[in-house]
Chain A
Amino acid sequence: GNSVTQMEGPVTLSEEAFLTINCTYTATGYPSLFWYVQYPGEGLQLLLKATKADDKGSNKGFEATYRKETTSFHLEKGSVQVSDSAVYFCALSPFSSNTGKLIFGQGTTLQVKP
């Protein structure tokens, strides 16, 4: 079946540090891949997405590349800020489903200290 695995958190970094949050997936065919972010007290919002192999999604300094060969979609940012403190979810939408169902990873909490 389809599944998503994220690195366990929490991840604590100092401001301006480099961030990597690992995400690997299991799926048949060619799913779409997403990173959603949840700021404290809020719902999830889309951070970036990639819909086919070797696509790079990017937004707000964050990047992730769809790697079919390693079934991965790792999230990176070169210099984190305190305002990036949030919970980050990796998710996939199966290719066979055109109806938007999402399968989420466990979520990774990021805390950035000044």
Chain B
Amino acid sequence: DAEITQSPRHKITETGRQVTLACHQTWNHNNMFWYRQDLGHGLRLIHYSYGVQDTNKGEVSDGYSVSRSNTEDLPLTLESAASSQTSVYFCASSEQGAHQNEAFFGQGTRLTVV
């Protein structure tokens, strides 16, 4: 069965360190997204990609970057981790071409910055 997996599931890091969260999907979807989930805010879009070599900033992109070298993977990098980036991060993918297409989510990565 196709799936979308994130790693690690839990991560504790120190302020100022660079951190990379992995996302891998086997749906063969062109669209991939990174969201962060915080109490009172729901999920907010960080970055997204519509295909290989394409990346775009979302609503809360400051301090984050992504790269898309193949269809399956969209790693999220925190350049210099800050306490404000403590959150739960979700990766998602969907088929391209229609705004009503379902998004499939990974199980999330809980990141704590100390």
Among B12-20, B60-68, B76-84, B105-113, the stretch that binds chain A is B105-113
Interface extent on B, as a size class? 20 to 34
Chain A residue numbers with a CB within 8 Å of B96 are 98-100
Chain A residue numbers with a CB within 8 Å of B103 are 44, 46, 100, 102
Interface 0/1 of A73-114, CB less than 8 Å to B: 000000000000000010001111111111111110000000
Chain B residue numbers with a CB within 8 Å of A106 are 40-42
| Cβ-defined contact, B102 with A104, below 8 A | no
Chain A residue numbers with a CB within 8 Å of B71 are none
Interface residues of B in 27-50 (CB under 8 A from A): 31, 33, 35, 40-45, 48, 50
Q: Which of B48, B50, B99, B100 has the most CB of A within 10 A?
A: B99
12 contacts between A and B (CB under 8 A): A42-B107, A42-B108, A43-B105, A44-B43, A44-B103, A45-B105, A49-B100, A89-B43, A93-B99, A100-B99, A101-B45, A104-B43
